[in-house]
Amino acid sequence: MICATLDDGTPDGQLARVSEDRTTCRIAPGMSLQAMLDGAEPAWSGPECRFDPAACLSPLPRAYQFLDASAYVNHVALVRRARGAEMPESFWHDPLMYQGGSDGFLAPTAPIEGDPEWGMDFEAEVAVITGPVRMGATPREARDAIRLVMLCNDVSLRALIPGELSKGFGFVQSKPACAFSPLAVAPGALPGWDGGRLHGALRVDLNGMPFGRADAGHDMTFDFPALISHAAKTRALAAGTIIGSGTVSNRDSDGGPGRPVAQGGAGYSCIAEQRMVETLLSGSPSTPFLQPGDRIRIWMEDAAGVSLFGAIEQEVAAWP
């Protein structure tokens, strides 16, 4: 099953089922994706229409829960190295995860509004939507609870993060609204899905130039079932919970920090990582954070070049 949510002016939008070739769709009139996840049976009685990704909201325009992890521990290790800090050994065994804001996600093509002083960055991620998960669920049970897979642009405000994290309570102001891909796809309809990870290049272009081609199936230290089980240790998770992978990040073949796409590497899934590598190699970063007018595009393709989830395509707008 391939789902999308069309903008019909309501907070939860209109659920649509999209054809396998991603060109047409049918709606289940009056139903939202959350309602389907809650157990309602959709009646796909709408006429077959052309599917227009530009008419889409994020598959869940708002959700009851978004838990975002840092499952690519390579990314965390790089962040620490760039600032000369040691990463605790436990980070390789105990997932890092934060409770993210979920009350209103950006549409896949909505502008990212913010003050350039905040150090705006994108983070390209894979995310899953779960059904209900019982408290104490094992990774095996968690695996069976994965309903849909999508891509995420987890917008981050780099200039606000150090001050906020130093207070000890995680992110609030430094993680504004993020966006998801137009399509949310059932695991069974994704050839690259191995039950826990999604294999394939996560494509990121910045201003039309290739920026990231990291393989989402590589170097993911904790797979989605492990992340979901971690989240469910002390509480049940409701249907419609979104679990994010954190910034996708690949080690270079020599185990090093990797190279930009232009130099034949897999590149990066956020500007901060490219800046960290620049800092490690030359002592200071040279790539600026996002500025008004910058355009970010995030997508994945199958072997035949089909855009699996449609594309997140956002432009940065000055605010206020």
Interface with a copy of itself, residue 38, by CB under 8 A: yes
82 close to 287: Cβ distance less than 8 angstroms: no
Nearer to a copy of itself, 44 or 91 (CB): 91
13, 42, 108, 114: which one contacts a copy of itself (CB under 8 A)?
Answer: 114
The continuous run of DSSP H or E covering 166 comes out as helix 161-166
% helix / strand / coil in the chain, to the nearest 5? Answer: 20, 30, 55
Per DSSP, 277 falls in state H
Figure out which of the listed residues 235, 253, 301, 318 binds a copy of itself, where binding follows CB under 8 A: 235
Q: Which of 57, 149, 157, 226 binds a copy of itself (CB under 8 A)?
A: 157
Which of 29, 30, 136, 256 is in the footprint of a copy of itself by CB under 8 A? 136
* Contact indicator for 231, 83 with CB cutoff of 8 Å: no
* Environment class of 308 (CB within 10 Å of its CB; exposed 0-12, middle 13-18, buried 19+): buried
Q: Given candidates 42, 59, 100, 119, which one binds a copy of itself under the rule CB under 8 A?
A: 100
Does 20 participate in binding a copy of itself (rule CB under 8 A)?
no
- Binds a copy of itself by CB under 8 A, chosen from 32, 74, 109, 174: 174
Binding residues for a copy of itself, rule CB under 8 A, total 50
Q: Which is nearer to a copy of itself, 236 or 262 (CB)?
A: 236
Q: What per-residue string of b and e applies to 243-270 under the rule 16 or more CB within 10 Å gives b? A: bbbbbbbbbeeeeebbbbbeeebbbbbb
Binding-site member from 97, 107, 127, 214 for a copy of itself (CB under 8 A) = 97
3-class DSSP state of 226: helix
- Contact flags string 66-95 toward a copy of itself, x per CB under 8 A: -x--x-----------------x--x--x-
The residue from 145, 183, 237, 312 that contacts a copy of itself (CB under 8 A) is: 237
Which of 92, 94, 125, 90 minimizes the C-alpha distance to 249?
A: 125
What is the rounded CA–CA span in Å between residue 283 and residue 146?
A: 42
Binding segment toward a copy of itself, per CB under 8 A, in 201-209, 232-240, 259-267, 310-318: 232-240
DSSP for 236-271?
Answer: -B-TT-EEE--S-----TTSSS---GGGTS-B-SSH
Instruction: Tell whether residue 135 is a contact of a copy of itself (CB under 8 A).
Output: yes
Query: Hey, what are 2's tokens?
Result: 């391939």
Q: Which residues contact a copy of itself by CB under 8 A?
A: 11, 38, 62-65, 67, 70, 88, 91, 94, 96-104, 113-114, 118, 135-136, 157, 160, 165, 167-174, 176-177, 230-231, 233-238, 240-241, 319-320
